[in-house]
Amino acid sequence: MSFNHNYTQVNDFKLHYLREGSGLPLLLVHGWPEYWRTWRKNISDLADYFDVIVPDLRGFGESERSEIVASEGYGIKNHTDDLMTLVDKLGIDKFGFVSHDLGAYVGQRIARKQSTRLRGLFFFDCPYPGIGRRWRDPEHVDEIWYQSFNQQPWAANLIGANRDTCRMYINHFLTHWAGDPDAFDEADREKWVTTFNSGENLQGGFDWYIAADDARKRLMRDGPQPTEPVKVPTRILWGEADPIVKSEWADRLDEYFADYQLDTVPGAGHFVQYERPELANNAISSFFSDLA
């Protein structure tokens, strides 16, 4: 399956993105450890109805890793600014935003800062402030070890020492976080390893955790701060078998989203869009077609 690959200068780096189809623009934004390929089962179906734009975030996939201190260049504000610069360069006014994991943080920031640009938000397994201190619950703390590990100055050199070490590390997340450990086939897992074991992609992904650390610890220490709910129409599919962003943590969504619909997906884990592509594609198409 071939897609249209494009590159453009965004702020201080070259950003890679795919673009297929026509209609209402939809941004599909990945998480960690991911890149555009996490949407490969969604792009063609959605491109029958929408202008599908699939960027690699700064430092991920085929996008460059800019030479800037991680804490100053890889936070949510930076990723948000990068994507808004991209849509402006493409001449896009209003668009839909589809994401999960890291991408969901970006979508929420856009919704709070530039809500008039958004037709709607669609999240998979959505991290949001209401999770609060539960990130460090005794029953959960063993799941978040990588968030500290990824910040070590030697982490990328250790994991990227050779293809086998990278494969062991990346495959842990693709198997452990999925509802079915075999959800990612061998060909895709090898593509993931090739991507993250080339250039500076490991460090580019790890830079996000360095940049997010203060906010992450503040949330776990103090809990979420009061904030106005997102008013942009929001649709959420949440995998019931996700071990890292638990579906039961959706219990405070109504405090942070004024207009949302949630459905959980039995048997699916963290990567609902990849594990249940037909369900995901139908839900995305229905949601944004109604809004358009």
| CATH number of the domain that residue 38 is part of | 3.40.50.1820
User: Cα–chain-centroid distance for residue 137?
Assistant: 23
Q: Judge whether 240 and 178 are in contact, CB under 8 Å.
A: no
Domain that holds residue 92: 5-291
The pLDDT of residue 1 is above 80: no
pLDDT score, position 285: 98
Confidence of residue 210 (pLDDT cuts 50, 70, 90): very high
Tell me the CA distances in angstroms from 161 to 146, 166, 169, 197, 202, one per residue in order. Answer: 17, 7, 11, 9, 11
The position carrying tokens 């959505």 is 126
pLDDT score, position 155: 97
The pLDDT of residue 239 is above 90: yes
The pLDDT of residue 226 is above 90: no
Catalytic residues: 101, 209, 270
The pLDDT of residue 107 is above 90: yes
Could you report the per-residue pLDDT of 80-104, keeping only the tens digit for each?
A: 999 999 999 999 999 999 999 999 9
pLDDT score, position 54: 98
pLDDT score, position 203: 96
Could you report the per-residue pLDDT of 262-286, keeping only the tens digit for each?
A: 999 999 999 999 999 999 999 999 9
Question: At 227, phi and psi to the nearest 5?
Answer: -155, 155
Query: For the chain, what is the domain count?
Result: 1
The pLDDT of residue 67 is above 90: no
Residues in CB range of 38: below 8 A, 6 or more apart? 30, 31, 271, 273, 274
pLDDT score, position 200: 86
